[in-house]
Amino acid sequence: MIDIKYNTEKERLLLPDYGRNIQNMVDHCITIEDRKERNRCANTIINIMGNMFPHLRDVNDFKHILWDHLAIMSDFKLDVDYPYDTVKKEDLHKRPPRLAYGNYNIAYRHYGKMLEQMIAKANELEAGEERKQLVGLLANHMKKSFMIWNKDTVDDRKILKDLYELSDGKINLHEDSCKLVDKKDIQSHSANSFKKQFVRKGGR
C-alpha cells in the first residue's frame, strides 16, 4: 500500500511560492558532497526558479533576489559560491526602523491637512483675480469634502465660517457675494462619475 501524505503533514515550505518540487531540489542540493557539483546544481535551481516568474526578469536585482530565496529555502545550510552577498539569517526577521509619522494638528479632519496648506498659500497671494479664483475653488472643495461626512445638511454659512477660521481671518467671504456650488449639482456630479467608472470597468 502506497503511503500518501497530505501537504499539511509534510514539512512546512519556507517559501511556498516556489512549491514542493523546488524545495525538494534545494534539500537534495544540500546533500551533494562535491562542491563543484553542488554549485552546478544550485545554478540549475536558480534558472528553474527564474523561469517560474519570467514577468519579473525586468525587476532590478532579480537574480540577487533568487539567490536570497535559495539561501532562505536551504535554511542557510547550502554551502555554495554565491555570486551575491545574500541576506543573513539574523537579519531576515529583523524589524525595520519605525517610521516617524507627522504630528499634524488638523482643525477639521474632514477637510484634511492639504486643504489647510492650500488656504495658507492663498493667504500669501495678493488681492486679484488669481486669488479670487483660488479662494472660490477652495470654498467649493470644502463643501464637497463636508458632504462626504454629512450628506443631509450642508450650510454655506458654515463652510464660509470654517474658511474664515482656517485662514486666520484673512479670507472673509459672505453668502450674498459668494455662491457655492449647489448640493444637488455635487450629488449629480458624483453619481455621473460613478456611472462613468462603472461603464469603464465593464458594468452595464
Q: List pLDDT tens digits, range 29-49.
A: 999 999 999 999 999 999 999
Judged by average pLDDT, the poorest of 51-65, 155-169, 172-186 is 172-186
Cα dihedral across residues 20, 22, 28, 30: positive or negative: negative
Question: Mean pLDDT score of the chain, rounded to an integer?
Answer: 81
How far is 87 from 90, CA to CA, in rounded Å? Answer: 9
Task: Note the pLDDT tens digit of each residue in 68-110.
Answer: 999 999 999 999 999 999 988 888 777 778 877 666 677 777 8
* Cα separations in angstroms, 115 against 49, 134, 184: 49, 12, 23
C-alpha cell at 35: 562542491
Three-state DSSP class for 173?
coil
Query: Taking a C-beta distance cutoff of 8 angstroms, is the pair 154, 147 a contact?
Result: yes
C-alpha cell at 113: 491637512
Smallest CA-to-CA distance from 160 within 134, 145, 182, 138 is with 138
pTM of the model: 0.47
